[in-house]
Amino acid sequence: MQVPPWLGRRAKRLSAPVVAAGCRSGRFWRVTESVKEPSPRAGVNGEASHRRARSGLAYGIGAYGMWGVFPLYFHLLSEVPPWVVLCHRIFWSVLFLGIVVSIRHEWGSILPILRSRRNVLLLSCGGVLIALNWLIFIYAVGSRQVLQSSLGYFINPLLSVALGVIFLRERLRGWQWVAVLIAGTAVANLALHGGTFPWVAISLAATFGFYGLVRKTVDINSLHGLLIETAILLPLALGMLAVVPASAVPRATLGILSLSGVLTAVPLLMFGAALRRLRLSTVGFLQYIGPTLQFLVAVLIFREPLDHSKLGSFALCWLAIAVYTTDSLLTRHPQAVADEPE
């Protein structure tokens, strides 16, 4: 900024007295009095906040990364009937989640939830929905339909938003409606030009969308909620496993099945740690890592055919996500985040 000539001349005449007076009064420039060096505590808190954010980002990427490569694990079990894999996953999940809760001394937070008949009923519904979601996903991997499962989890956040409008009377902004309509067009394109109805993608998105809807009505975290849901299903799972012939599941496969509890709990714990350390908007962006990795696993490892109709549907879905994400950024509204993927 240029100084007017008249002010420049006056400034020269006044500069020496002002500086001298300022020095004598000990107040030199007022603006320098308002600028303070950051206290050591502020520096420590800032560094701690950065470390917390970095660790949260690592937890989030780790959780969604594990969920993204889940097809590789279930591919090892493709010779076992999907319902047997599901029953084993329920059993081992209850066992391992129970151990985690015991180590963390958190049973006191769970027992009050069970005293409410409403909570037990809602979590029972959630258990049925997540079991159906798991069963369809296991079937999709075994039948080489991982591309459809990837599309279903891409669509899920947008479907969850639409379900919120229908059942919770939430209101959508204009661009959110556009994103939901584009996602619907992606599914319609695959149904009309894909040769077969994409029931895997729709079923995965629907079961998980309604699962998230049920979870919103119960004040419980993901780890505790999943423990209760799988525990409710445990008697049925054990009864079904009791009728499975011993020769139906080889010992080597049994060892792989026993890992399902750990593989269910570990990313869930990482997901919870990420939620505690990151902004919800950041976790909203990270949730697309899972279906992206599933897409890459399907195309690059399983060599599933990616014809023009499937590619067109994915392109429309990615466009819908881009519109939805951009709207969330511009309006500073965090994206919806699922409680517990896959």
Say what the pLDDT of residue 29 is: 34
CA distances in angstroms from 85 to 49, 93, 149, listed in the order given: 42, 12, 17
Which residue, among 68, 100, 78, has the nearest Cα to 257 in the 3D structure? Answer: 78
Q: Which residues contact 251 (CB under 8 A, 6 or more apart)?
A: none
Contact yes or no for 155/317 (Cβ under 8 A): yes
Query: Where are the domains positioned within the chain?
Result: 51-331
Spatial distance between the Cα atoms of 324 and 148, rounded to a whole number of angstroms: 21
Interval 50-80: pLDDT, tens: 788 889 899 999 999 999 999 999 999 999 9
Spatial distance between the Cα atoms of 31 and 11, rounded to a whole number of angstroms: 18
Q: Is the pLDDT of residue 49 over 50?
A: yes
Spatial distance between the Cα atoms of 29 and 18, rounded to a whole number of angstroms: 10
Q: How many CB atoms lie within 10 A of CB 254?
A: 12
What is this structure's pTM? 0.81
Say what the pLDDT of residue 13 is: 45
Spatial distance between the Cα atoms of 200 and 336, rounded to a whole number of angstroms: 22
Q: Is the pLDDT of residue 8 over 80?
A: no
Q: What is the mean pLDDT of residues 201-224?
A: 90
Interval 244-275: pLDDT, tens: 887 778 888 989 999 999 999 999 889 888 88
Say what the pLDDT of residue 342 is: 58
Interval 130-182: pLDDT, tens: 999 999 999 999 999 999 999 999 998 888 888 888 888 888 888 889 999 99
Confidence band (pLDDT; 50, 70, 90) for 45?
Answer: low
Lowest mean pLDDT among 26-35, 80-89, 110-119, 302-311: 26-35
H-only helix segments in 104-221: 107-114, 117-142, 146-167, 174-193, 199-215
Residue with the larger pLDDT of the pair 192 and 201: 201
